[in-house]
Amino acid sequence: MDLIPLPHRMERAEGFFELGDGFGIGAGPGTEGTARWLRASLGAATGLALPPKKGDEYDVLHLSVRPGLDAEEYRLVVAPHGVHVQGGSPAGVFWGAQTMLQLLGPDAFRRAPLPGRTWRLPLTEIRDSPRFRWRGVMLDVARHFMPKDGVLRYLDLLAAHKLNVFHFHLTDDQGWRVEIRKYPRLTEVGSWRARTKFGHRASPLWEEKPHGGYYTQDDIREIVAYAAERHITVVPEIDVPGHSQAAIAAYPELGNTDVVDTTALSVWDSWGINPNVLAPTDNTLRFYEGVFEEVLELFPSEFIHVGGDECLKDQWRQSPTAQERIGELGLKDEDELQAWFIGHFDSWLTARGRRLIGWDEILEGGLAKGAAVSSWRGYAGGVAAARAGHDVVMCPEQQVYLDHRQDAGADEPVPIGYVRTLEDVYRFEPVPAELTPDEARHVLGAQANLWTEVMEDRVRVDYQAFPRLAAFAEVAWSGLPAPAERDFAGFERRLAAHYGRLDALGVAYRPPTGPRPWQRRPGVPGRPIDGPPPNR
């Protein structure tokens, strides 16, 4: 039973249960969504009708919510006369059904039945529950836009790996991707750029055609609903006060007009850290309150991500308006000005029953009172935040930035950053060793990040994400031992079967032998960094 992520406990018995034409689903209260999903997915792969059946009949998949189990915990029992999936909540039932799908073999992930297939499950009992409540993936659709169907496909891939948070990076210097009806120019102007740098920012190559796109509000509602059916929470990110040139290009008054001619700015066509940041004015605050009002209507998530990273302060230092604001607020410097800016939206979101989360730069100049932290620059930000009593999602770039290269070989496409092999990701430990047990409780979980500067389409995203995302999923779900004690060889053996599932799902993963010829990008320069990454 080559399952990924590895369940907590498995007991195998001799024999199999075979799914025949009479096989049906008995869906208890709260499990109707999983039953509907199984009829659509498993029904398509097998050709079985999977009709509703009563719970006391044979040849039935019994789905039920069972009091006494943790919310995402499940129990899967394959017996000679039927299958039982019990969960502590509808989410637990869904994760148990995902495990059952893996037990049926790779062809259970296809979209139409293949001839001559028989469908059988090994007689077994599995008890399982996740280590972390936040098992996330961040997808950047601002640098390279991913159309809606690609996003829905990625939600299916997350669900297949029992990942339950989709961090949706919707705005940046290079594009604004969500319709805001109050401010139509954000998408009319901000969602398109004239051309795109191809490769690292030092590359001489350009793709000389417009790039862009955005999601309508109905698209967003569809994405959020599709995710919810798969028990995935969508956490939107609207970047402030840096990474905002696309917004400033659409509405120049948002920028530091007393320093630069913001009317001359366009949506950025290159990569890196951009100096054009939002002005710390009341007008900017009111504008983004209007943005967030519509964002809250679209996204019911507890957390709203506001970015807060890589905000260069040069324009604020030169801006009389910014300096006047520092003086009137009694702030010490520009770092405290950013803390004031983030703190404003922390209070604004808190008043509306939501929680702010931002990248670990929000620690600089004083951490906003109710904020949580995405610790990306290493472990230090997460340690500092947890010790101060703030919740943390661990996503250090040196460990789980999946845009970083997977191998040191010359054939790796557009190599970025440190080498982060499959084994490196498998040995990632989200909880810093220096935290006390009380402090460690603030670690909500872990997240892998996919920044798309050098990923121009979903095929490139597939290559960077898989199979490393399967290793990350096991780290986030399974109660693995300490990194040095993890059975990576055993994981690789299970992964050999998992490649068949990825093939059935149409995932263009990196093979263990290296990139296929069509996955290479000869002549497109990246930015590889040699040596081991700093582990701090």
Would you name the residues annotated as active-site residues?
A: 172, 243, 310
Identify whether the C-beta of residue 319 lies closer than 8 Å to the C-beta of residue 279.
yes
At 62, is the secondary structure helix, strand, or coil? strand
| Measured CA angle at 476 (ends 475, 480), to 5 deg | 40
Which value, in Å, is the radius of gyration of the alpha carbons in the chain? 24
b/e map 232-260, b = 16+ CB within 10 Å: bbbbbbbbbbbbbbbbbbbbeebbbbebb
Q: How many CB atoms lie within 10 A of CB 180?
A: 25
Distance CA(351)–CA(346), nearest Å, equals: 9
At 523, is the secondary structure helix, strand, or coil? coil
Distance CA(372)–CA(463), nearest Å, equals: 31
Q: How many CB atoms lie within 10 A of CB 68?
A: 7
Q: How many CB atoms lie within 10 A of CB 107?
A: 16
Helix (H) or strand (E) holding 458: helix 458-465
Identify whether the C-beta of residue 400 lies closer than 8 Å to the C-beta of residue 465.
no
Query: What is the 8-class DSSP label of residue 114?
Result: P
